[in-house]
């Protein structure tokens, strides 16, 4: 029995060794697969084309080039904070921000109880003065008849001169009373007009047509045309801007103000809409300089009226050279592309033109900057797509992918 057990212990277990061998082969195969996948991933990353943003070159305005760039803000020539002419309590406000109002429209109303009472009192005084006029006229007519009668009797020597003098005095007295009453009627009429004006002042009207940009008072608050201090009395109902009076004001360095003339065409670009070119012209050059900034203020008219243009927007203005009336030679076709799309300067500039999934390195002749764009005088046509901010490793003929939303 002991001998058989010893023989079993000396026997080799071939099944366990085979299982361990299969485990090692599986681990080696998994490692090989992972290494192959990593290699393929790295290779795909090297050969996949980069993604780029593109922009379409557009034609510049013919015969006009920027001679100066400046920045400024949109301002309104007609802007008013509307207040009341009198101090009173607000009972009704009929405006909200963004509302368009017409000239003469009612913006708010004040408490008119006292003003209405004053007007009614003035009307009553006028009525009383007019009623006295009738009585005095009747008395004056009687005095005129009495005086004529006394004259006839005095001529017959039937009455003394004293009676004639008394009749004359009575007539003159009534004439004076009638003149005085007429003056009282005129004063009462003027009092009614003044009371009506005070009553009308409780209704606040729009001084011109425009858009409400601020609402400054609420019903129940006190309003006054002058500041009362303490912060409890408002000085205005709201602010109205005439959007048709919008213009751009820019500060031009006094060293370059000689490049600007009245009536000069300009091209404005709002910071909020960098792709929107707004035509305009110089209204006037303000004949004074800012000593601290060494600048001169220039007013720019906006030729294109649009609701997107609102006061206090930042703007960049390119002052253009006036096109020649009769050019001797055809002007070169100039296109505009963003500054970031151009490498180099002048005749050594380069852009990358995108077409059919590949880029072409194109030598071009770059001109001057126009706002955030660059003029391309030669080497590029309007409508071609160029790469924005081309990568440093990008070469002629490289395949690329255009980003979604490329313009």
Q: Apex CA 360: angle with CA 356 and CA 365, to 5°? A: 135
How many independent structural domains does the chain possess?
A: 4
Cβ neighbourhood burial of 66 (10 Å; 0-12, 13-18, 19+): buried
CATH code of the domain in which 375 resides: 2.40.420.20
- Closest Cα to residue 303, out of 369, 248, 373, 242? 248
- Closest Cα to residue 74, out of 254, 373, 280, 238? 280
Q: Is residue 340 part of a domain?
A: yes
Q: Do 250 and 208 lie in a common domain?
A: no
Q: Is residue 284 part of a domain?
A: yes
Quick one: pLDDT at residue 21?
Answer: 59
- Closest Cα to residue 358, out of 53, 58, 56, 49? 49
Q: Identify the domain boundary among 241, 256, 290.
A: 241
Quick one: pLDDT at residue 12?
Answer: 52
Quick one: pLDDT at residue 357?
Answer: 85
- Report residue 12 as tokens: 């080799």
Quick one: pLDDT at residue 316?
Answer: 92
| Rounded Cα gap, residues 342 and 369, in angstroms | 11
Q: Do 118 and 195 lie in a common domain?
A: yes
Query: Phi and psi for 261 in degrees, rounded to 5?
Result: -135, 160
Report yes or no: 252 and 260 within 8 Å, Cβ to Cβ: yes
Q: Do 260 and 224 lie in a common domain?
A: no
pLDDT < 50 positions in the chain: 1, 43-45, 63, 229, 324-329, 405-407
Q: Is residue 34 part of a domain?
A: no
Beta-sheet strand order (sheet of 51-56): 58-59, 335-338, 373-378, 358-370, 349-355, 385-388, 51-56, 401-402
Q: Do 306 and 293 lie in a common domain?
A: yes
Q: Do 349 and 228 lie in a common domain?
A: no
CATH code of the domain in which 316 resides: 2.40.30.170
Q: Do 117 and 187 lie in a common domain?
A: yes
Q: What is the dihedral of CA 306, 312, 313, 314, to 10 degrees?
A: 140
Q: Do 119 and 148 lie in a common domain?
A: yes
Residues sharing a CB contact under 8 Å with residue 216, sequence separation 6 or more, in sequence order: 81, 234, 235, 236, 237, 238, 239
Question: What is the number of other CB atoms lying within 10 angstroms of the CB of residue 137?
Answer: 14
Distances from the Cα of 342 to the Cαs of 64, 235, 361, 367, in angstroms?
A: 21, 55, 11, 11
Q: Is residue 216 part of a domain?
A: yes
Q: Is residue 17 part of a domain?
A: no
Structural domain including 373 reads: 51-61+331-402
The bridge status of strand 401-402 relative to strand 51-56 is parallel
Quick one: pLDDT at residue 324?
Answer: 46
Distances from the Cα of 153 to the Cαs of 145, 272, 335, 400, in angstroms?
A: 12, 100, 113, 130
Residues sharing a CB contact under 8 Å with residue 130, sequence separation 6 or more, in sequence order: 185
Q: Do 350 and 381 lie in a common domain?
A: yes
Quick one: pLDDT at residue 328?
Answer: 47
Q: Identify the domain boundary among 286, 320, 354.
A: 320
Q: Is residue 15 part of a domain?
A: no
Q: Is residue 178 part of a domain?
A: yes
Q: Do 236 and 361 lie in a common domain?
A: no
Q: Do 350 and 394 lie in a common domain?
A: yes
Quick one: pLDDT at residue 317?
Answer: 92
Q: Is residue 36 part of a domain?
A: no
Q: Do 258 and 140 lie in a common domain?
A: no
| Rounded Cα gap, residues 206 and 107, in angstroms | 6
Q: Do 226 and 148 lie in a common domain?
A: no
Quick one: pLDDT at residue 91?
Answer: 93
Q: Identify the domain boundary among 287, 320, 353.
A: 320
Quick one: pLDDT at residue 407?
Answer: 41
């Amino acid at each position: 029995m002991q001998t058989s057990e010893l023989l079993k212990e000396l026997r080799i277990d071939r099944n366990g060794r085979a299982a361990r061998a299969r485990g090692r082969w599986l681990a080696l195969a998994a490692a090989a697969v992972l290494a192959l996948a990593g290699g393929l991933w790295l290779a795909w990353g090297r050969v996949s084309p980069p993604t780029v943003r593109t922009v379409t070159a557009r034609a510049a305005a013919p015969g006009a080039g920027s001679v100066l760039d400046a920045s400024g803000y949109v301002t309104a020539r007609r802007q008013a904070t509307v207040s009341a002419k009198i101090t009173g309590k607000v009972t009704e406000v009929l405006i909200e921000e963004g509302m368009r109002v017409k000239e003469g429209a009612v913006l708010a109303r004040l408490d008119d109880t006292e003003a209405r009472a004053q007007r009614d009192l003035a009307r009553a005084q006028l009525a009383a003065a007019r009623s006295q006029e009738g009585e005095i006229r009747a008395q004056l007519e009687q005095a005129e008849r009495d005086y004529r009668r006394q004259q006839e009797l005095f001529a017959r020597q039937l009455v003394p001169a004293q009676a004639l003098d008394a009749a004359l005095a009575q007539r003159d007295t009534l004439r004076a009373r009638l003149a005085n009453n007429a003056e009282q009627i005129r004063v009462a009429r003027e009092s009614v007009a003044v009371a009506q004006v005070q009553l009308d002042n409780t209704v606040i009207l729009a001084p011109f047509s425009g858009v409400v940009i601020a609402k400054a008072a609420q019903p129940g608050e006190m309003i006054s045309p002058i500041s009362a201090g303490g912060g409890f009395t408002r000085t205005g109902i709201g602010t109205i801007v005439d959007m048709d009076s919008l213009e751009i004001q820019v500060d031009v360095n006094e060293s370059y103000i000689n490049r600007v003339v009245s009536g000069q065409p300009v091209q404005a670009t709002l910071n909020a809409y960098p792709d929107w070119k707004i035509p305009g012209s110089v209204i006037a050059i303000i004949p004074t300089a800012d000593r601290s900034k060494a600048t001169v203020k220039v007013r720019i008219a906006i030729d294109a009226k649009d609701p997107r243009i609102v006061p206090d927007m930042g703007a960049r203005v390119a002052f253009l050279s006036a096109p020649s009336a009769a050019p001797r030679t055809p002007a070169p076709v100039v296109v505009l592309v963003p500054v970031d799309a151009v490498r180099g300067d002048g005749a050594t500039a380069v852009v990358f033109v995108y077409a059919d999934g590949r880029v072409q390195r194109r030598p071009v002749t770059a001109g001057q900057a126009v706002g955030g764009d660059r003029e391309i005088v030669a080497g590029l046509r309007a409508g071609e797509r160029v790469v924005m901010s081309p990568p440093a490793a990008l070469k002629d003929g490289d395949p690329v992918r255009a980003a979604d939303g490329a313009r």
